[in-house]
A = this chain, B = another copy of it.
Amino acid sequence: MSFKLFPLANTIADVEGFHCGGLHAGLKPQGLDLGFIYSDALCEVAAIFTTNRFQAAPLRHFQKRSITKTNFILANSKNANAMTGEKGIEDIEEILASLQEVFALHNPIMSSTGVIGVPLPKNKIIEAAKRFDLSAKEDLAFARAIMTTDTFEKRVGFEVVLEDGGSFHIAGIAKGAGMIDPAMATMLCFIATDAQVDATKAKELLQKKAETTFNAISVDGDRSTNDSVFLLANGRSETFDEEAFAFALEQVMHELALLIVKDGEGARKLVGFQIDGAKNAQEAKRAAKALTNSLLVKTALFGQDPNWGRIAATIGASGVECSEERLRIAFEDVVVFDKGTILFDAERERAAHEVMKKEEFTIYCDLGVGNGSFKAYGCDLGYEYVKINAEYRT
């Protein structure tokens, strides 16, 4: 590699020309619930959205306006502004228009997360947003303002130094803990960079890198109406190297994706499901995602029970090409089933159980029928998930 990555302490706030912050607008009973990202210089913007047919109003507003340049994103939690029809879009326009009377904004964007099917409390938002200090550099406040059932902030950033001279910054902030089964990227994610990249190239890279990052994780197999990844690039570094940029972008997206799974509602474990030897990459992905979504696998992870039969059954049910005579299943390096032979004895059960006690580990499944590989990331499902989701709204 002809470049090096150095972590940023303040993520988006450390990216040249970017500002961010958050405040309490009264959408939640307490805590930050409204945030912004602002750039001194106009940004190229690229975005990818949920594949859910009921896209929320903010997503439809962005697409309707065909925005490719902006300097401002307004984001709120507690209310998704979804299933709110044309009224939802009109509310966004009213909010953003009122902000433009106060601040010098160009094509401002809005992004929302929270409960579906409740009209946006737009007056609270308008009143509060006027209090923003656009010179702020508070990435932690922004990260908190977009949290719903998240238990920690999700921030990642790097300075990328090119060997041939020049450097740029790239950083991302995300939220997400439930309704996570990215058929695209089930969460909100905002990435800011001062690299000199245009909107078209940014979108191409975003889509490509989403496949192995946000599209490879699952908390509960549900897909929200609001999933969005935004990438803002203000070009202030006057530097661009595609290889370095693509690598750093993937790194930011990968780390944020894993943070989302780690914060999976009620989850205590981050588990990788590495499928090898599938007929092709697509089938590898299908089997890997099936494992991340199986309730029986997820509850076995919670119970730290090396019940490999559930893993086999889930692969078999996923519809991919496979046979007992070719399948191999291992918990890290503990092989429990190998090409039709059950190796799972008392000793290996203990060893597999030890692997499962860890907070992070990988389950390897080789289907033995081809060269397709994919790694998906999931988490356990326990009492907390039920508690959080049975009590979320009422």
Chain A residues in the interface with B (C-beta under 8 A): 51-54, 80, 82-86, 115-119, 178-179, 183, 220-225, 293-296, 299-300, 302-303, 305, 307-310, 312-317, 319-325, 337, 340-342, 344, 353, 381-383, 385-387, 389-394
Specify the chain B residue showing the minimal Cβ separation from A116.
Answer: B309
Please measure, in the bound complex, the distance between the C-alpha atom of A84 and the C-alpha atom of B342, giving whole angstroms: 7
Contacts of A342 in B (CB 8 A): 83-84, 117-119
- CB distance A313 to B225 under 8 Å? yes
> What 5 A-B pairs are tightest by C-beta distance, nearest first?
A116-B309, A303-B390, A54-B316, A299-B389, A117-B309
* A393:B307 contact, CB within 8 angstroms: yes
Q: How many monomers of this protein are in the complex? A: 2
Is the beta-carbon distance between A390 and B302 smaller than 8 angstroms? yes
Complex contact B51–A317 (CB within 8 A): yes
Q: Which of A116, A178, A294, A317 has the most CB of B within 10 A?
A: A317
Q: A54-B316, A294-B222, A296-B179 are in contact. Are A386 and B383 (CB under 8 A)?
A: yes
A342-B84, A386-B382 known; A313 vs B223 contact (CB < 8 Å): yes
CB atoms of B221 and A313 under 8 A apart: no
CA distance A391 to B310 in the complex (A): 13
Cross-chain contact of A324 among B83, B325, B344 (Cβ < 8 A): B83
Q: Which residues of the partner chain B approach A322 to less than 8 Å between Cβ atoms? A: 53-54
| A/B interface sample: 6 pairs, CB < 8 A | A51-B317, A85-B340, A225-B313, A299-B390, A303-B392, A382-B390
A389: chain B residues at CB < 8 Å are: 295-296, 299-300, 303
A53-B323, A324-B85, A381-B386 known; A313 vs B222 contact (CB < 8 Å): yes
Task: Point out the residue from B225, B313, B390 that lies within 8 Å of A316, measured CB to CB.
Answer: B225
The interface residues of chain B lying within 8 Å CB-to-CB of A315 are 53-54
Partner of A296, one of B52, B178, B303: B178
Known: A222-B296, A299-B385, A299-B386. A392 touches B313 (CB 8 A): no
Q: Which residue of B294, B302, B344 is within 8 Å of A117 (Cβ)?
A: B344
Report the minimum CB–CB distance from A250 to chain B (whole Å): 26
Taking the nearest CB of chain B, how far is it from the CB of A80, in angstroms? 7
Q: Is B305 a contact partner of A52 (Cβ separation < 8 A)?
A: no
Assembled-state Cα–Cα distance A310/B303 (Å): 28
Give complex CA distance A116, B183 in Å.
30
Q: What CA separation (Å) do A308 and B394 show in the bound complex?
A: 12
In the bound assembly, the distance between CA atoms of A324 and B84 in angstroms comes to 9
Q: Are A312 and B386 in contact (CB under 8 A)?
A: no
- Among B118, B119, B295, B307, point to the contact of A220 (Cβ < 8 A): B295
Q: Which residues of B contact A385 (CB under 8 A)?
A: 295, 299, 386
Which listed residue, B84, B179, B305, touches A392 by the CB 8 Å rule?
A: B305
Who on chain B is nearest to A381 by CB?
Answer: B386
Contact A317 B222 (CB under 8 A): yes
Given contacts A54-B316, A302-B386, contact A296 B220 (CB under 8 A): yes
Which residue of B has the minimal Cβ distance to A52? B316
